[in-house]
Chain A
Amino acid sequence: MLEKGKISPRQAGELMFITIMATVILFVPAITSELAGHDAWIASPAGSLFGLVTVLLVFILGIRYPGRTIFQYSEDILGRFLGKLVALSFVWFFLHLAATVVRQFGDFLTTSFLPETPLSVFNFTLIFLAAIAVLSGLEVIARMNEFIILLVVSSLLAIFSLSISIWEIENLFPVFASGIIPIARGAIVPAAWHGEIVALAVIMPFLTRPRGALVSGAAAVLGSTALLTTALIAVQSVFGPDFTASMHFPIHLFVRSINIGRILTRFEVVIMIIWVAGVFIKTSVFYYCAALGIAQVFGLSEYRPVVLSLGLIIAVFSITLYSDVAELAHFLRDAWPVYSISMYSLGLPLLLLSVSLVRGKLSGEAQGKDKQDG
């Protein structure tokens, strides 16, 4: 076993929650508002609940192949060559995701807080920190997350409740004004983000009770859906959908607009805390998944030797994959949802499950025949 630590189902749920929530809250409101207009706050729960499908797929697979990660059971299901190919494509997915997240992190900080600092400073520091976390193992990441989740959720709730006085709910209406198509288009973005919960397929074997993964995964999706929807309602009721769509980070500008008696103001530090802490966990999780994946695909006895070299790859990708913020936004809006849902959060898990079911049935029938014959 490459990973000796064990985490509880609750810790796994919290880890998945922060993993999804960290970037969804900053990036998705603008994109969904652009695509779905007034109906963004309906599109977001509709899309987010897609994450439950992924949880279910991953859970059934995990139960059928107890103690094995997605990298291992894809080989069990599809055979040596195809299985390794699928496992490697998942490694690529986690790597790509980690690089994109790191890039989002750096872009937000340079845009909003520290415009004179080069992007690479943020990216490299974050990857260095995440590398230390990954080297320490899953258990350490999960325990650290127990502290961070308190920080993130309580500050978000504080922000939302402090801002209620400036919400103007009438800006959310009319609903369903332009039919179902904009809602569907807007829903695909939060769906892609919540599909990231496919990382549960890597973590599940390390749960003390793997059967708890279904509940904790579903809870993570529901919790993140609730927060995203609240964020969208808050942002849209203050800025309106048309203005929201033209921002990069609506929640940041929203927090800057909270001004209670000119005393309770300037809360953007809170957003900074949420962002840095959350993204750190998110990067660590995907980084860990990629490292473990490499080790399992190539049959290494330790995943730690590959961590630093993977970090270098992530660092290079995080700088070179996107040349500017417009390209990143364009990728996240147009390419990423289709790509990640069709391949990783729905396509491949569905393929694995159906092949596994068919093979199980075939072998079951074969066994049955054997018995009849015997």
Chain B
Amino acid sequence: MGSRRLPICLLLLLPLFFLPGCWSQVEIDDLAIVRAIAIDYLPDRRAPFLVTMDVIRPGDIAGGGDAGGGGGGGGSPTRLFTGNGATIDLAIQQASFNISRRIFLSHNELVLVSEDMAKHGLHSVMDFIMRDNQMRLTNFVLVAPGMAHDILAAPERLETGIADEILGLLAQARTSSEADPQEAYRMQRQMSTPGQDTHAPVLRISPHLTEVIPEFREEMMEQGQDEGSQESQGQGAGGAEEQVVPQKELTLAGAAVFCGDVLRGFLDPIETRGFLLLKNGVKLAAIVVPDPLNPEKKVVLTVSRAQATITPVLSGGKVSFSIEVVAEGDLASQRSESDLSAPEMLKKLGSAKAAAIKIEIEKALQKLQELESDIVGFGAILNRSHPQVFREIGENWPQVFTQLEFDIHVTAHIRRTGQLSRPAPINR
């Protein structure tokens, strides 16, 4: 017994070398945690990929964001690092020369792709997302008109970092129904499926108020100078300029439409909503119709539930699609003082809403046919119900798609009228 005890004790000591996790350990302090990646494509260069990474600043992981944010100057909790190379991997590798830590992509949640990159083809982006063992297929892919780098360089407004800001926008998009965030694996599936094209939400730097409303500009200049002079006393030089140069804001609305992996064009927010109505993706939307009693005034109706059923119709060797939409919602606001609460009025509003929805869908489909991009997946729907037919015409589905005819029927119901049954009377 005594002779066996020593070897056993030594054997028990052996796990000490492996179990404490000291072997090739990686501490959090050694990692550059990337939250978002922007990929730009610069054509006609030997190293066309420009990759920008949004890396969390080490000090701000543990410390409260408030303390850093309030401190003025270096308030941003993240830093941008860029690199360029002949492929995305090489660009990241080049960026790593500037980073004092090891790049860690497992917590990356956003991939921003510039318009040029999307026009060149998403394949290299998707390949990077799927092949890299740190990247996740749940990364959201967004298209940025212009440079994707500029989006990450925009300052955050409410959240503690630009990545959180964009993620917040994505979460909100589900309620505005004017953009459709898609994870990478969904996009890849759509690209792989015959008779289906993919799309991605569009994230752009919004035009500042002064550009939209010219009157605003002069007002801002005056105010800016006033406030600037006050500020400069408190904060030091440079305050005036910062006030005049408007802070950038981000807008998530619309859809980038692909054919294969190549960007074909953009849907505007309303067209995107028309498309989402077909995909049952509308959770909340506001539709404007004329007041039945007072046609020059407007009534706003919400769509809180919409169900579309798409069925292929074959007649005489020709394929067309019948689209049935049932929408439900409330009366959200009205500009006239007329009483719209009577059941027949709500019926009228319902049919006006149905007509408006139908027009929205038609416009979206028309645009998609112009762009030759079947992002609704009519081909895939046809393939599911009539695989033989699809096998014959699926070879040149994009051409078939542009010639497709649609038969759209919309029924809409107004269920409630909000807190008011009729407008509160005003004595004149």
Determine if A240 and B192 form an interchain contact, defined as CB atoms under 8 angstroms apart: yes
Determine if A170 and B133 form an interchain contact, defined as CB atoms under 8 angstroms apart: no
Q: Which residues of B contact A120 (CB under 8 A)?
A: none
Q: Which residues of A contact B188 (CB under 8 A)?
A: 239, 243
Confirm or deny: B399 has a beta carbon within 8 angstroms of a beta carbon on chain A.
Answer: no
Confirm or deny: A341 has a beta carbon within 8 angstroms of a beta carbon on chain B.
Answer: no
What secondary structure prevails in chain B residues at the interface with A? helix
Determine if A257 and B384 form an interchain contact, defined as CB atoms under 8 angstroms apart: no
Inter-chain CA distance A174–B383, complex, in Å, is: 7
Q: Which residues of B contact A116 (CB under 8 A)?
A: 24
Determine if A174 and B384 form an interchain contact, defined as CB atoms under 8 angstroms apart: yes
Confirm or deny: B321 has a beta carbon within 8 angstroms of a beta carbon on chain A.
Answer: no
Inter-chain CA distance A173–B384, complex, in Å, is: 5
A240 CB contact (under 8 Å) in B136, B137, B183, B193: B193
Inter-chain CA distance A354–B192, complex, in Å, is: 49
Determine if A239 and B189 form an interchain contact, defined as CB atoms under 8 angstroms apart: yes
| Interface mask (A97-111 → B, CB under 8 Å = 1, otherwise 0) | 000000000000001
Residues of chain B in range 185-209 having any CB-CB distance to chain A below 8 Å:
185, 188-189, 192-194
Inter-chain CA distance A247–B138, complex, in Å, is: 16
B185 CB contact (under 8 Å) in A111, A117, A170, A239: A239
Q: Which residues of B contact A246 (CB under 8 A)?
A: 192
Determine if B385 and A174 form an interchain contact, defined as CB atoms under 8 angstroms apart: yes
Inter-chain CA distance A122–B194, complex, in Å, is: 40
Determine if A113 and B133 form an interchain contact, defined as CB atoms under 8 angstroms apart: yes
- Classify chain B's interface size: 10 to 19
A256 CB contact (under 8 Å) in B24, B137, B194: B137
Known: A115-B133, A116-B24. A242 touches B185 (CB 8 A): no
Q: Which residues of A contact B138 (CB under 8 A)?
A: 256-257, 259, 265
Q: Which residues of B contact A264 (CB under 8 A)?
A: none
Determine if B185 and A253 form an interchain contact, defined as CB atoms under 8 angstroms apart: yes
How many A-B residue pairs have C-beta atoms within 8 angstroms? Tell me: 51
Known: A111-B133, A115-B133, A256-B136. A170 touches B189 (CB 8 A): no
Known: A171-B189, A240-B193. A257 touches B137 (CB 8 A): yes
Confirm or deny: A320 has a beta carbon within 8 angstroms of a beta carbon on chain B.
Answer: no
Determine if A112 and B133 form an interchain contact, defined as CB atoms under 8 angstroms apart: yes
| Interface mask (B58-90 → A, CB under 8 Å = 1, otherwise 0) | 000000000000000000000000000000000
Determine if A174 and B387 form an interchain contact, defined as CB atoms under 8 angstroms apart: yes
Q: Which residues of A contact B183 (CB under 8 A)?
A: 257, 259
B363 CB to nearest chain A CB (Å): 26
Closest to B135 in A: A256
Confirm or deny: A15 has a beta carbon within 8 angstroms of a beta carbon on chain B.
Answer: no
Determine if B387 and A177 form an interchain contact, defined as CB atoms under 8 angstroms apart: yes
B382 CB to nearest chain A CB (Å): 10
A59 CB to nearest chain B CB (Å): 41
Closest to A236 in B: B189
A143 CB to nearest chain B CB (Å): 22
Q: Which residues of A contact B137 (CB under 8 A)?
A: 253, 256-257
Determine if B133 and A240 form an interchain contact, defined as CB atoms under 8 angstroms apart: no
Q: Which residues of A contact B189 (CB under 8 A)?
A: 171, 238-240, 242-243
Tell me the B residues contacting A by CB distance below 8 Å: 24, 130, 133, 136-138, 183, 185, 188-189, 192-194, 383-385, 387, 391
Instruction: Provide a sorted-by-A list of 7 A–B residue pairs whose CB atoms are within 8 angstroms.
Output: A171-B193, A173-B384, A177-B383, A178-B387, A238-B185, A240-B192, A240-B193
| Besides A174-B385, A240-B193, A253-B130, 7 new A-B residue pairs in contact (Cβ under 8 A), listed by A number | A116-B24, A171-B189, A173-B384, A178-B387, A239-B185, A239-B188, A239-B189
A-B CB proximity, top 4 nearest: A177-B387, A242-B192, A240-B189, A243-B192
